[in-house]
Chain A
Amino acid sequence: MSLKNFEWETVNCARCSLCKWVDPWELTSERFAKVCPAVARYLFDAYSCQGKMDVASGLMRGELDFTESLLDIVYKCNLCGACDTMCKRSRDLEPLLMFKALRAKCIEDGQIIPEHMFMIDSLKREDNVFGEPKSKRGAWAEGLELKDTNKEKTEVLFHVGCRYSYDSDLWDTLRGVVDILQASGVDFGIAGNEEACCGGRAYELGYQGEASNFAEDFQGRVKASGATTLVTACSDCYAAFKYTHPSIGKELSVEVLHIAEYLERLLEEGRLNLTQDLGMKVTYHDPCHLGRLSEPFIPWEGSRGTYGMHTPPKEFRRGTFGCYDTPRNVIRRVPGVELAEMERIREYSWCCGSGGGVWEAYPDFASWTAAERIEEALSTGAEALVTACPWCVRAFKDSVGESEAPIKVYDLTELVRLAVGNDKKKSKKMV
């Protein structure tokens, strides 16, 4: 959607500042009351949701020119959607969609920041955001002899994503997922070197055309694999499949599940048994893309009329129906694990700092954001911070590495893998 479509939003933002804070009904302490990393870090209102509304309005009205500082405001934002959730607590506006349209306008007008240009070049050249060779995408699975969906049909297509594919520190986690799926008797396959980026990041950066190409390509691959279910352990990819692709008319014809949802299903069906007592107090971080950003796309075409009313009436994605309970249900089923919640959870979760191209372009900001979350995790007294997205895991591991904070970082699948133990036979094969 073009930025012009959001003029009503920019005029009608009341500048109430609710976008900066956790819902007052859910607030539990003054220390962890902020919800927007950008304005918390950079302080000037311009970095907040409301500020970006004003900047967009300035650009639309020709009262602002593109400057380095303006691009800073636009791109020093994780697109985590927390402000959008808060705005929609009592308004019918679409700030997050407006931010994406604002980024698209920047690209359209040739306002590109070098770090993001590198990502886009990498995507075009190597189908991943890191600039790594495409030929190495499946390296993590070497020796595992997994079903290749380019050659064989499969029931479940396991999509790995760029972060897992190229971050060798996380390969053990990925191999753990393979162990779990195999132990549960799942018929699954991977696309290996032929796998490509989901395009979600390109869309967030404002490169909507590139994102559309990736989405279209992905549709074809999924169809060719014969899979009926698509499973991914990456929350970014999950949100792309659940929301971004359908929003640009590239909906997948298969069931899309995050690994957390699939694990819950396996546990409920009795195909996976968790037997090892881990004796651990953990806390859980809701990844933005698994939580508030993963609500399915709700199609709507129409216009605003009198007082800005939608014709036809519009149903909003308000962030409340993301995947929140499932990962918690899985954690609770791990023997000996106690879940201690942080204060900012579910739709009010504080971002890990990686989203929206911030990790690549503004590492200091990403690191600051992750450190804030680690501090919140420590306040629960947990020994480990569990999450369900490789981007979050990377951000938190780096943060803990820097600060030497006394807390371990696990992906949810790692926790499950530990609880399965070495005796894979304890998990039942599919009959």
Chain B
Amino acid sequence: MGLSDNALRALTEVLGEEYISTDPAVMRAYSRNFTSPLGSRPVECVALPGKMEDIQEIYRLANRFDFKVIPTGTHLFMSCEPLIPIYDHLIIDPKRMDGIWIDEENMYAVVEPYATWGRLQVEAMKHGLTCYIPSAGAQTSVVANLTFQGYHMAAHRLGAGSRSMLAMEWVLPDGEIMNIGSTSSPGGEYFWGEGPGPDLRGMIKGVWGFFGGLGMCTKAGIKLFPWPGPKKWPTRGATPDKRVFLPEDKFKIYAIGFPTFDSVIDAMYEIGRSEIASVCVHLQKGWLAGELALSQEDYFSMWESEAYQKSVENMLVVMLTAYTSKKQLEYEDDVLRSIMDEYGGKFLSDEVQEGIAQVLVPDLMIRPNVLFRGFRVAGSFFDVKGALDSMDHGAIAHKTTLPFIKDFVKDKTPPFMDDDGGCHYICSYDLGHSGFFEMPFLYEPDADCKNIKTLLAGLTAKGYLHDARHKTYPGGFVVSVGADIMGPFMGGFQKIIKNVKATFDPNYVSNPGWPVLMWSRLSKDGIKYAMNSYRDKRKNAKKELEKDV
């Protein structure tokens, strides 16, 4: 079963025995993640390359011996697993490639695929710099997160995560190296993405990438930003009640309540137009409780309290940062207050302010966060919709989708949670030039993955039709079959992606199924899968028979 002996022998020669495994117990640990779309999937081989050349060799061998390769980072998300039933695949775990180099003067870092956000930021802060703040958490791979998309809540000032990526070194599915941006010049550094030299970032990565379907980024330049705060994170308290106390002359963090949902969005646009603030996010009611709860039970007692519900209604979270001077902070503060007057905004209670300033904002918008707290609340989450478009688009999507979700969950709680879209959020990007919304939906996973299958079969499929009807296209989350369904409504983008995939990965070796299905290849691989499965079943049955005898 799995990769052929010849393929394994060749891989072992390249990597060394210690860095390759086909052991079932080892494979088991790579067979799932919280987004596993169709349940856990057996993996046949895991490789631990130590350098870019190893990855090149892995891809060359994949083409030669006809096995599939799934590049991963820290293995958090669904792109780390094959979407379709493929028989013989190898996962690249890049743990041995975790280098971080910082160029303080030019404000960028160079990272390898296993460098995590937590490690990058802590080093950057020593140089008075910070990085973009991923919602995926401090423990995720910088490269994997950004080649996916890298949604984040500090984007009002720092911009879209995907734009944090500068020059790159990329191993293509045929084993060739592609250098993008300034590294494409001989001896070029990683300081710029657009050039000098070709910039193919849009094609290979775009809004949310190829899910490893186009090879593997092995080194990337990452944009860093000024950090006016302390070099050491000022934490107080003990788990699970830790808080952060940032210097008040550098940061002002506010939780503001508005009379209506629409006025929140209007105020967000106005904040953007006024070019103030470093963070500007509308959070639904579940977020603060999730961050402050000391346990799962604590979350529910908070959530069920009427006082709590009222305390965070139509909430906008704003952070002002003194990048230049205290005067800047005072100016921005004045502007913010006048916007609040205009749209009827009021500061929320002291208790909410403290929670937002000492826990939620530091965790989600300044430091790459500990972990999305929705995991604690119900066990797991699933994104119903999400798109990088405009804040208005987010508002419409939220309003129209909420009844649709409520309809779906009726009679299904548990395992699904009806929290009135408590984990939804709308985030200003680039001073309001664009906006991102996401609709996480909490549920309790089960051993057989029935719950996630119900979500996929029900919510996702109906969601696409719902989007088509309301024109609230989920610009980001359209992959695989979804791309074929929604593509015709969205300019036929799926055809372009299929062409790119076919050009760069003619043998279809790199994470097949993502981000679009190649139907002709799917049937070929499907037949191979069925034949191999049959062969193995027979072999195993024969072995069992021999044992019995």
Contact = CB atoms under 8 A, between A and B. Distances in A.
B96 to A, nearest CB: 7
B120 interface: yes
A58 B140 CA distance: 25
Contacts of A64: 24-25, 28
Contacts of B375: 12, 14, 16, 90-91
B32 A54 contact: yes
B93 A45 contact: yes
- Shortest 5 CB-CB distances between A and B: which pairs? A24-B138, A51-B29, A30-B119, A46-B29, A320-B238
B123 A29 contact: yes
B510 to A, nearest CB: 21
Nearest to A343: B122
Given A17-B139, A30-B123, A306-B414, A25 B25 contact: no
Contacts of B377: 307
B46 A44 contact: yes
Interface string B284-297: 00000000000111
14 contacts: A12-B445, A14-B33, A17-B74, A18-B370, A55-B25, A55-B29, A57-B28, A70-B25, A90-B375, A91-B375, A310-B296, A314-B297, A318-B238, A321-B238
B493 interface: no
B75 A73 contact: no
Nearest to B447: A11
A16 B76 contact: yes
A90 B373 contact: yes
Interface string B397-408: 000000000000
A20 B141 CA distance: 13
Contact of A18 (B28, B139, B242, B415): B139
B25 A28 contact: no
A136 interface: no
A151 interface: no
Contacts of B363: 25
Contacts of A48: 29
B25 A69 contact: yes
Contacts of A268: none
Contacts of B48: 43-44
Interface string B221-245: 0000000000011010011101010
Interface in A33-63: 33, 43-46, 48, 50-51, 54-55, 57-58, 61, 63
Of B19, B33, B242, B379, which is in contact with the most chain A CB atoms at under 10 Å from its CB?
B379
A135 interface: no
Contact of A24 (B30, B300, B367): B367
A24 B118 contact: yes
Contact of B370 (A46, A89, A308): A89
Contacts of A28: 122, 232
Of A18, A27, A48, A69, which is in contact with the most chain B CB atoms at under 10 Å from its CB?
A27
A25 B245 CA distance: 12
Nearest to B138: A24
B100 interface: yes
B189 interface: no
B525 interface: no
Q: Is the interface of B mostly helix, strand, loop or mixed?
A: loop
Interface string B128-148: 000000000111100000000
Interface string B166-188: 00000000000000000000000
Contacts of A12: 375, 379-380, 444-445
Interface residues of B, number: 66
Given A26-B235, A28-B122, A313-B297, A14 B29 contact: no
Of B75, B76, B369, B375, which is in contact with the most chain A CB atoms at under 10 Å from its CB?
B375
Nearest to A72: B25
B395 to A, nearest CB: 29
Given A28-B122, A44-B48, A347-B239, A17 B76 contact: yes
B409 to A, nearest CB: 13
Of A21, A92, A320, which is in contact with the most chain B CB atoms at under 10 Å from its CB?
A92
Contacts of B76: 15-17
Contact of B295 (A14, A55, A61, A316): A316
Contacts of B100: 30
A30 B93 contact: no
Contacts of A319: 239
Contacts of B417: 307
Interface string B17-36: 00101011110111111100
A31 to B, nearest CB: 9
Contact of B28 (A16, A26, A55): A55
A23 to B, nearest CB: 7
Interface in B312-352: none
A307 B266 CA distance: 36
B95 interface: yes
Interface in A286-323: 306-310, 313-314, 316, 318-321
Counting chain A residues whose Cβ lies within 8 A of the other chain, the interface size class is 35 or more
B478 to A, nearest CB: 24
Contacts of B378: 307-308
Interface string B32-75: 11100000000000101000000000000000000000000011
Nearest to B48: A43
A21 B93 contact: no
Interface string B434-449: 0000000000111100
B116 interface: yes
Contacts of B233: 25-27
B300 A89 contact: no
A373 B267 CA distance: 52
Contacts of A314: 295, 297
B421 interface: no
Contact of A23 (B23, B96, B370): B370
Nearest to B442: A307
B466 interface: no
A283 interface: no
Interface in A343-361: 347
Nearest to B116: A21
B368 interface: yes
A67 interface: yes
A20 B445 CA distance: 23
Nearest to A315: B295
A106 to B, nearest CB: 12
Of B25, B233, B239, B371, which is in contact with the most chain A CB atoms at under 10 Å from its CB?
B25
B122 A33 contact: yes
Nearest to A87: B371
Nearest to B446: A11
A27 B244 CA distance: 14
B127 interface: no
A235 B341 CA distance: 60
Given A26-B235, A54-B32, A57-B447, 6 more contacts: A30-B115, A44-B93, A51-B29, A58-B28, A306-B444, A314-B297
B376 interface: yes
A30 B74 contact: no
A310 B26 contact: no
Given A21-B116, A23-B370, A318-B239, A16 B137 contact: yes
Contacts of A90: 240, 370-371, 373, 375-376
Given A12-B379, A44-B46, A90-B370, A69 B26 contact: yes
A7 interface: yes
Given A18-B371, A67-B24, A89-B370, A308 B137 contact: no
B23 A14 contact: no
A44 B94 CA distance: 10
A7 B26 CA distance: 19
A78 interface: no
Nearest to B36: A15
Given A58-B25, A64-B24, A92-B296, A307 B239 contact: no
A20 B122 contact: no
A92 B293 CA distance: 11
B75 A17 contact: yes
A208 interface: no
A138 B380 CA distance: 54
